[in-house]
């Protein structure tokens, strides 16, 4: 079987794990909105995906190492000091797609196989990492495995984080039999993550490869709006303290502030309110309480700070007798990719003759914590219609193969340094 047929077969097989109907889907035209993939970290379907991956490793002569955070590592030892690591994640959001994260893990393993089968003599040790719980769909916090691996979150603190069912991380990993006894020995000198773009830019610009320059920083605020519940028919407009009206003001302000930041700093800056709960949520009752989350992201610290300042100023402004409480849930600085790794990727792309562009990543990735301890970079391939975190997420297998070849070339380029 040819290499590109092998990776296609593997991605189709793993894509059926966690799919609501269990179908193996091999083309975009076969997808429907009912074909979502759901495998949050620590669940039975996460275990099934891990089992599939580790069995694949063993069948091809590798001995997977599982660390104390449930991260899975496979390795080709080198003759000289230094580690080149490729990685991504196997877990998914609820009703997501089959490429996000998983494509990067299985493609990285395919690179390892091709290096082994071709007799490539690597100088540096080459490692593939499958990190635990990148999505945050189970434990309310993203990038758990990579934050543990880097030491950004201490082991005991990470183990104590609870999922949506109230089970702590350590117990969840023990339950699915993916809690190792020790940490992985060594940290990468270089790190590469291969991922679908999850946005429309590459497709719109007709580029085959994206070379990531930075990963956006993020500030997430949890907001509670306290008004006065009342009868919708008997309470005059001038006597209302409507929590939802005030919330609507805030939502409009978030959108306006993000647009201002994007124009002012001429970069990728975005603001979103995608989670909203209204109480009591009845058509004939003035809402007395609203909770929501605000998601601010930017590729540069200055524009992120501009949006954060504007949003907090609005939240602290008193209007119409409505009280607002807020907390900052997550705050992550933008991550700048290593020029050295970017050049290794760019050289690989040019040697293969693929079209490419430099671009920021608007989504978070395991590369964020890894970039704090390693020279890191990312490779993107197009997402059809820019869709991700949806059952309609898809990347053509021809694009998967292109990105995989770029990844292999980049690894070889770094191995020569």
Q: List pLDDT tens digits, range 215-249.
A: 999 999 999 999 999 999 999 999 999 999 999 99
The secondary structure of 197-224, three-state, reads CCCCHHHHHCCCEEEEEEECEEEEEEEE
**N- to C-terminal Cα distance for the chain?**
33
Place of tokens 């082991």: 155
Please tell me the distance from the alpha carbon of residue 386 to that of residue 393, in angstroms, as a whole number: 8
Please tell me the distance from the alpha carbon of residue 239 to that of residue 237, in angstroms, as a whole number: 5
> pLDDT over 90 for what percent of the chain?
94
Distances, alpha carbon 144 to alpha carbons 38, 147, 299, in Å = 18, 5, 22
pLDDT score of 21: 84
- Which residue pairs from 385-389 have beta carbons closer than 8 angstroms and sit at least 24 positions apart in sequence? 385/200, 385/203, 386/197, 386/198, 386/199, 386/200, 386/201, 386/203, 386/204, 387/97, 388/96, 388/97, 388/99, 388/100, 388/196, 388/197, 388/198, 388/199, 388/363, 389/93, 389/96, 389/97, 389/100, 389/198
Q: Going by C-beta distance under 8 Å and a sequence separation of 6 or more, which residues neighbour residue 100?
A: 92, 93, 195, 196, 198, 388, 389, 393
CATH number (3.30.365.10, 2.40.160.10, 3.40.50.2000, 3.40.630.10) of 3-216+335-415 reads 3.40.630.10
151-185 as b/e: b if 16+ CB within 10 A: eebeeeebbebebeeebbbbebbeebebbbeebbe
Distances, alpha carbon 381 to alpha carbons 51, 243, 343, 377, in Å = 27, 43, 17, 14
Tell me the Cα Rg of the chain. 23
Is residue 13 within 8 Å of residue 24, measured between CB atoms?
A: yes
pLDDT score of 133: 97
Upstream peptide bond of 171 is cis (omega within 30 degrees of 0)? no
Strand, helix or coil for residue 332: strand
- Domain definitions of the chain by residue range: 3-216+335-415, 222-332
Q: Going by C-beta distance under 8 Å and a sequence separation of 6 or more, which residues neighbour residue 336?
A: 213, 214, 371
Which band of pLDDT confidence, cut at 50, 70 and 90, is reported for residue 1?
Answer: very low
Instruction: Tokens for 186, please give them.
Output: 């060594």
Place of tokens 């493609």: 107
pLDDT score of 2: 53
pLDDT score of 140: 80
Q: Is the pLDDT of residue 4 over 90?
A: no
Each residue of 316-341: pLDDT tens digit?
999 989 999 999 988 989 999 999 99
Q: What is the mean pLDDT of residues 114-124?
A: 97
Is residue 244 within 8 Å of residue 228, measured between CB atoms?
A: no
pLDDT score of 212: 98
Q: Is the pLDDT of residue 46 over 60?
A: yes
Each residue of 144-185: pLDDT tens digit?
999 999 999 999 999 999 999 999 999 999 999 999 999 999
Strands annotated E in 59-189 = 65-66, 72-76, 83-89, 125-131
Q: Is the pLDDT of residue 3 over 80?
A: no
CATH number (3.40.50.300, 3.30.70.360, 3.30.830.10, 3.40.30.10) of 222-332 reads 3.30.70.360
pLDDT score of 244: 98
Name the average pLDDT for the chain: 96
Q: Is the pLDDT of residue 370 over 60?
A: yes
Is residue 229 within 8 Å of residue 281, measured between CB atoms?
A: no
Q: Going by C-beta distance under 8 Å and a sequence separation of 6 or more, which residues neighbour residue 59?
A: none
Q: State pTM to two decimals.
A: 0.88
Q: What is the mean pLDDT of residues 51-68?
A: 98
Q: Going by C-beta distance under 8 Å and a sequence separation of 6 or more, which residues neighbour residue 174?
A: none
């Amino acid at each position: 079987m040819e290499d590109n047929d092998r990776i296609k077969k593997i991605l189709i097989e793993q894509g059926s794990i966690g799919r609501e109907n269990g179908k193996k889907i091999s083309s975009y035209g076969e997808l429907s909105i009912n074909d979502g993939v759901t495998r949050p970290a620590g669940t039975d379907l996460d275990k099934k995906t891990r089992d599939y991956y580790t069995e694949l490793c063993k069948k091809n002569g590798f001995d997977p190492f599982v660390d104390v955070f449930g991260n899975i590592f496979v390795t080709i030892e080198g003759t000289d000091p230094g580690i080149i690591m490729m990685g991504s994640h196997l877990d998914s959001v609820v009703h997501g797609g089959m490429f996000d994260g998983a494509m990067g893990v299985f493609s990285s393993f395919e690179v390892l196989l091709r290096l082994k089968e071709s007799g490539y003599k690597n100088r540096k040790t080459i490692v593939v990492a499958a990190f635990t719980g990148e999505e945050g769909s189970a434990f309310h916090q993203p990038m758990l495995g990579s934050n543990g691996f880097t030491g950004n979150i201490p082991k005991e603190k990470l183990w104590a984080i609870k999922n949506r069912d109230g089970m702590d991380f350590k117990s969840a990993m023990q339950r699915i039999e993916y809690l190792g006894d020790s940490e992985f020995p060594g940290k990468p000198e270089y790190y590469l993550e291969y991922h679908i773009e999850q946005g429309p830019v590459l497709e719109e610009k007709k580029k085959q490869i994206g070379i990531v320059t930075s990963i956006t920083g993020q500030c997430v605020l949890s907001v509670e709006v306290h008004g006065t519940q009342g009868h919708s028919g008997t309470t005059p407009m001038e006597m209302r303290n409507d929590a939802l009206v005030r919330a609507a003001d805030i939502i409009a302000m978030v959108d306006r502030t993000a647009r201002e930041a994007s124009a002012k700093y001429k970069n990728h800056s975005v603001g979103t309110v995608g989670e909203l709960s209204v109480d009591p949520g009845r058509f004939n009752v003035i809402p007395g309480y609203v909770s929501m989350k605000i998601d601010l992201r930017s590729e540069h610290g200055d524009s992120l700070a501009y949006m954060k300042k504007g949003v907090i100023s609005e939240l602290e402004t008193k209007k119409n007798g409505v009280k607002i409480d807020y907390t900052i849930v997550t705050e992550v600085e933008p991550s700048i990719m290593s020029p050295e790794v970017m050049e290794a990727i760019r050289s690989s792309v040019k040697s293969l003759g693929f079209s490419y562009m430099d671009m920021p990543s608007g989504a978070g990735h395991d590369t964020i914590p890894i970039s704090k301890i390693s020279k890191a970079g990312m490779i993107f391939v197009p997402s059809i219609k820019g869709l991700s975190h949806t059952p309609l997420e898809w990347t053509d297998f021809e694009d998967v193969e292109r990105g995989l070849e770029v990844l292999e070339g980049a690894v070889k380029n770094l191995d020569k340094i």
